[in-house]
Amino acid sequence: MDDTRTPLRGPVRTGERALAPDLARGAMLLLIALANTPFYLWGREYGSVGFHPTDGSVLDRVVQAVIITGVDLRVYPMFAFLFGYGMVQVLARQRAAGASERDALALLRRRNLWLLAFGAVHALLLFAGDVLGAYGLAGLVLAWLFIRRADRTLLVWAGIGTGLLVAMAVLGAIGAYFAAASGAPAAEGLEPTAFATASASEEDPLHAAVLRLSVWPVIVLAQGLLGLTVPVAILLAFWAARRRILEEPWNHLRLLRTTAAAGIAVGWLGGLPHALDHTGVLGVPDNADWIFALTQPVTGLACGIGYVALFGLIGAGLRGRRPGPVSGAVTAVGKRSLTCYLAQSVLCAPLLSAWGLGLGGVFGSAAMALFAVGVWLATVLLAWWLERAGRRGPAEAALRRLAYRRPASAEPGRASGATR
């Protein structure tokens, strides 16, 4: 009996990379900056759902409406889909290299455990709204339960999760209607937004760290598993990755067009009522506006998947072309998405938090959105410089070294790639 074992092969190499996933990750990080920076608008009253202030200029209100409609709760399903897609790519690459199923799955477990650890440090030092921990937890559970299951099983369970989200939104809408009709006063109690954003308004950096770390486990559980949106997006990604939909989008144009058109339409139309209510145009009674906490996740799921499909179409359109300066720079960010995601917090937290320069207490929503764009552009410059220098992102290098249990090897542009 031959007891020799094929060692794990290294991370993805340049020639194995697909444009669409990297392009989507790079653009997604702009949306993440726009979604996360309102968290730092401390020292004012927030809406009952989300992190947007209830005051501001006309321009501020327009910016709030745009972000609520097209960004809030629309980006992290996109992030989750790309994360799940990458998990299948890692597993497939190890299988193709002859590694055992056991070793390949162990690699995924280590990778997700280290993501949890990265997320905990990120929350402790910088940002309570960290998503790395949520995706690490979801990756651990869903890889264990589903990554080797049949396609039918993946779709059935994704359908069950989506059905539950739809049912909660429909039942919530019925309840909100009767609550509004009753004229009863809005219930008073725990304010989740104030709880989640307390660290941004804390002047003592040590106390702010304690507050961030107390919020983080709640976010990990709620976003990673209990909210259902992330698990559904990951299950759909498992199914899509087996068909190489983003690696070979030209073979799936009809599916991508339908998904992009339907998903984005549902997402934007579904987010519009919340945006109109928040800006005072719609005027949902205070005792019923909690309904948006139930409608936004399900419409956001559709929108996030639609955004992924849109970038698949862009990737198909760029097939055979050499990336231009814009697409090349955005793709460079996508190759280093972990580094650029963490870099956003490095730039935002000390400048915006009350324990730092406190600019979050001065900016309005429009100024904060402009700041978010500037932060993303700074990460584009960083990624472009690393690409030109032939170096992977430091966070990617560290994660690979820990997950693969070997030193990080050559740079991404010429030898080994930069994402997985």
Q: Which helix (H) or strand (E) holds 392?
A: none
pTM above 0.85, yes or no: yes
Judged by average pLDDT, the poorest of 38-52, 168-182, 358-372 is 38-52
C-alpha span between 323 and 327 (Å, rounded): 6
3-state class (DSSP) for residue 255: helix
Band of pLDDT at residue 198, cut at 50, 70 and 90: confident
Residues 299-342 pLDDT 10s: 999 999 999 999 999 999 988 787 788 989 999 999 999 999 99
pLDDT at 257 over 60: yes
Q: What are phi and psi of 12, to 5 degrees?
A: -60, 140
3-state class (DSSP) for residue 53: strand
Cβ burial of 285 (10 Å; 0-12, 13-18, 19+) is: middle
- In the numeric block, the tokens 């693969």 are attached to 404
C-alpha span between 248 and 92 (Å, rounded): 15
Torsion 311-68-60-282 (CA) sign: positive
Residues 51-75 pLDDT 10s: 899 889 999 999 999 999 999 999 9
